[in-house]
Amino acid sequence: MSEFNIKHHGGRASRADRVEKAAKTRVVEIAGGKACGGRELLLIAGPCAVEDENQMESSAAFLGRLGVDALRGCIFKPRTSPYSYQGMGEEGIALLDRVKRQFEMPVVTEVMSREQIEAVDEVSDVLQIGSRNMQNFELLKQVGLLNKPVILKRGLSATIEEFLMAAEYILSGGNERVILCERGIRSFDQATRNVLDLGAVAVLKSMTDLPVMVDPSHALGKSEFVATMAGAAIAAGADGLLVECHPRPAQSVSDARQALSFEEMEDLINTVGPIAEAVGRSFRQGDFQNTVHHIAC
């Protein structure tokens, strides 16, 4: 029997129930009236890693004026090399909290352990489970006990079935506020960082009622291709985008090559907006006319 037909007990919705409801995407509330899964697309953007106050304040100010729904910024960073920047750690929590309150933007940050969940619980509006932890089952069980939105990224080499079963670990714990995120899978081709599997977006939308976001930044790994694939993602049916944006991309301590500048981020929204309208979706409108292009960095 396929795992997709297994019923969970305890009165909670089962995987089979979610297949039956797949024609109608559930709406996952974030914070401040923001949500993922409805007609209005969810746009999350910001630096890969929290570096300093100036970086986060300038990012929040600019992105907020563009109409970006939530600010991303990781203080705990899982890196391939132990010698790469690992994030600010707990000292970054107060900074995230300050920026969140000052600019009234929901905050998205990554967690890798129960201790980190507890550390950011009061600050983070949305928890992110990165691709390297998609099958960290004890972590999935922990976030399953929370009543907080979780963005679950697809593993580097995970099948769609494995991806959905990882989501089930969270859902079966009682947390129904799960958002799936396609961020590219590994390939033999080195032209891009990963291969963005937009076919997975269409397949996932046919197999589950969970909303599906796309992270074109990690998928492509090169900033010049991010806007193009962001548009393709929306055309394929994605419910939102997760984009890396930095006030000084070349100076970013993490994934500098894929980060968009402020100008490139505004161009992305202007490019993708008409595509969204063509498929019956929209982005929240920001103050485009009065956007300050040159915020002091």
pLDDT digits 0-9 by tens, 54-85 = 999 999 999 999 999 999 998 887 766 776 66
For residue 159, being part of any structural domain is answered with yes
For residue 81, being part of any structural domain is answered with yes
Pick 238 or 10 by higher pLDDT.
238
For residue 287, being part of any structural domain is answered with no
List, as one string, the DSSP characters of the chain. Answer: --GGGPPP-TTPPPHHHHHHTTTSPPPEE-STT-EESSSBPEEEEE-SB---HHHHHHHHHHHHHHT--EEE-BSS---SSTTS----TTHHHHHHHHHHHHHT--EEEE--SHHHHHHHTTT-SEEEE-GGGTT-HHHHHHHHTSSS-EEEEPPTT--HHHHHHHHHHHHTTT---EEEEE--B--S--SSSSB--HHHHHHHHHH-SS-EEE-HHHHH-SGGGHHHHHHHHHHTT-SEEEEEB-SSGGG-SS-GGGPBPHHHHHHHHHHHHHHHHHTT-BPPP---TT--S----
pLDDT digits 0-9 by tens, 268-284 = 999 999 999 999 999 98
What was the pLDDT predicted at 22? 64
What was the pLDDT predicted at 78? 72
Please say if the pLDDT value at position 96 is more than 80.
Answer: yes
pLDDT digits 0-9 by tens, 255-265 = 778 899 999 99
Please say if the pLDDT value at position 9 is more than 80.
Answer: no
pLDDT digits 0-9 by tens, 179-197 = 999 999 999 988 998 999 9
The domain tally of the chain equals 1
Q: Averaged over 160-168, what is the pLDDT? A: 98
For residue 39, being part of any structural domain is answered with yes
Please say if the pLDDT value at position 286 is more than 50.
Answer: yes
For residue 293, being part of any structural domain is answered with no
Domain of 170, CATH number, reads 3.20.20.70
pTM for this model (two decimals) = 0.88
Confidence of residue 252 (pLDDT cuts 50, 70, 90): confident
For residue 216, being part of any structural domain is answered with yes
What was the pLDDT predicted at 14? 67
pLDDT digits 0-9 by tens, 219-250 = 998 999 999 999 999 999 999 999 999 999 88
Please say if the pLDDT value at position 167 is more than 80.
Answer: yes
What is the domain extent for residue 96? 3-278
For residue 179, being part of any structural domain is answered with yes
